[in-house]
Amino acid sequence: MFYKLFRNIVVLALVSLSAFVFYQSSKDLWADLYEKYFPCQKPIYYTLGFFDTRFGIKEKDFLINIKKAEDVWEVPFTREFFKYSDDQNLENVLKINLVYDYRQEITSKIKALGIVVDQNRASYDEIKSKYELLQKEYLANKKDYEALVSVFQARQDKYVEQVNYWNKKGGAPQDVFDAINAEAQSLKKEFERIKKIENNLNDDASDINALVSVINDLAHTLNINVAKLNNIGEVRGEEFTQGEYTEGSLGEEINVFEFSTKEKLIRLLAHEFGHALGLLHVEDREAIMYRLNENKDGKLKEDDINALKAKCGI
């Protein structure tokens, strides 16, 4: 009896699930067909998804920049292609996520070094020169650090030897006892000094690794035939990507991973909005839809306009 009842419940659940999947599939199919035959007729609704505060930007300011990226497409065509909604339960909504990972951490370090990264050979050469200078300083400081550690280790071994010697004798004369205590205090101060130098070296290594990531990324992007530089410590194999537009079973998303200025953020968002409209990359290096973030004025170029006209039948 229990088995039969359980079986009926399972069958009912499967039927309900099938109906839900069919409803979802039919609805998605209808949306796809509508977009295919009536492209750009309805605005794409978007909302703010995951928002990481470590970027140092307020949510309201981020939304303002999204609106400016929206205007890049809408103002020239006087048409509403995108529309913001704060309804997280809205269906078929484009989610825009601000995701902090090693990419933004690298950008923050580069910015702190006073370096501006442009995707051209001149920028590559400038950053490579900075890297070579920091690397030379780092190696010299590391050599000095290792010498200090070696001297400290010898002093510490001698100190331990003296302590063990006098302990076996049942104690040391007062003058020897005072000298051993003075050496202990001196060793403590020296250890603290070495620890600070070690921390500074680690910070320098982190800065150099940030430069290595940018240099390798630029070399790859610009097709510069040079040997890949290695990080000091852990090596990352991931490609440096500022953002991405994705479309899958979980819906559409724009993920922002890295930006150094407000202008670059707006151009990045405008570029990903272009992908959300169904546009591919174009050949003009100054265009919003060029594969690299090289546009200077934040405005559509002829290739962008022609691509959208072709997509939307304008």
List pLDDT tens digits, range 195-222: 888 888 888 888 888 788 788 877 877 7
How much is the average pLDDT of 126-151?
90
pLDDT tens-digit map of 59-72:
999 999 999 999 99
Provide the angle, in degrees to the nearest 10, between the axes of the packed helices 121-168 and 174-221: 160
Q: Tell me how far apart the alpha carbons of residues 310 and 121 are, in angstroms, rounded to a whole number.
A: 33
The residue among 199 and 83 whose pLDDT is bigger is 83
Query: Locate tokens 């610009």: which residue?
Result: 222
Residue 238's pLDDT is 35
Residue 80's pLDDT is 95
Q: Tell me how far apart the alpha carbons of residues 143 and 137 are, in angstroms, rounded to a whole number.
A: 10
Domain boundaries, the chain: 40-109+239-312, 120-221
Backbone phi, then psi, for 223, in 5-degree steps?
Answer: 60, 40
Residue 73 has pLDDT above 90, yes or no: yes
Residue 156 has pLDDT above 70, yes or no: yes
Q: Is 227 in contact with 250 (CB distance < 8 Å)?
A: no
**pTM of the prediction?**
0.56
CATH of 40-109+239-312 given 1.10.357.10, 3.30.420.10, 3.40.390.10, 3.30.70.270 = 3.40.390.10
pLDDT tens-digit map of 251-262:
899 999 888 789
Q: Tell me how far apart the alpha carbons of residues 288 and 240 are, in angstroms, rounded to a whole number.
A: 19
Locate 240 and state its tokens. 């440096």
